[in-house]
């Protein structure tokens, strides 16, 4: 198994409820290191570009508006198999389907306001990390 980086976003429903630290403890307790992190307010243009792959989906406009409704925390998580491991820590997209002990089971409000984003492949992780972070921000 290789050490990987993956992009995580703590979404507006979670920052609004002051859950950044509570969510970060799920990553750290399960062996992922937070190697870069910043809180920012997405613009509409940034949110549209980040979720461009979902442009044709019926929930796209609502999703973009949700993602700009409060600040987000973007972060790079690192560890063994980090992409897949983070998807396991997050749980299923719909919290109704998420396993016990996952972030989405414990915190998500709905299928849209589901507290976290995580890259779904190593290729997408590289693209998503480059979207938010400069090389110099990625600590060893």
Q: Which residues bind ligand ADP (CB under 6 A)?
A: 54, 59, 63, 93, 111-112, 114, 117, 120
* 105, two tokens: 């089971």
For ligand ADP, give the closer residue by CB, 106 or 120: 120
Q: What's the min distance (Å) between Cβ of 53 and Mg ion?
A: 8
By C-alpha distance, which of 41, 29, 105, 49 is closest to 73?
Answer: 41
* 134, two tokens: 């400069």
- Interacting partner of 85 out of Mg ion, ligand ADP, none (Cβ under 5 to 8 A depending on kind): none
DSSP label at residue 68: T
Residue nearest to Mg ion (CB): 120
CA 64 to chain centre: 14
For ligand ADP, give the closer residue by CB, 20 or 93: 93
Q: What string marks each residue from 104 to 133 as x (binds Mg ion by CB under 5 A) or -?
A: ----------------x-------------
Which of the residues 91, 117, 125, 129 is marked catalytic?
Answer: 117
Beta strands in 11-127 (DSSP E): 33-40, 72-80, 116-118
For ligand ADP, give the closer residue by CB, 40 or 137: 40
* 114, two tokens: 């589901």
- Tell me the C-alpha distance between 140 and 43, whole Å: 29
Active site residue 54: no
| Residues designated catalytic | 117
């Amino acid at each position: 198994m290789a050490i990987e980086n993956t992009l995580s976003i703590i979404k507006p429903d979670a920052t609004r409820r002051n859950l950044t630290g509570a969510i970060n403890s799920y990553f750290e307790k399960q062996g992922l290191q937070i190697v870069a992190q910043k809180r920012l307010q997405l613009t509409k243009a940034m949110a549209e570009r980040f979720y461009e792959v979902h442009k044709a989906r019926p929930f796209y406009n609502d999703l973009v508006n949700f993602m700009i409704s409060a600040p987000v925390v973007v972060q790079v998580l690192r560890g063994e198999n980090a992409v897949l491991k983070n998807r396991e820590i997050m749980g299923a997209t719909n919290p109704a389907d998420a396993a016990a002990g996952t972030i989405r089971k414990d915190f998500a409000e709905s299928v849209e306001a589901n507290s976290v984003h995580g890259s779904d492949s190593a290729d997408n992780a590289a693209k998503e990390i480059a979207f938010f972070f400069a090389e110099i921000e990625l600590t060893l």
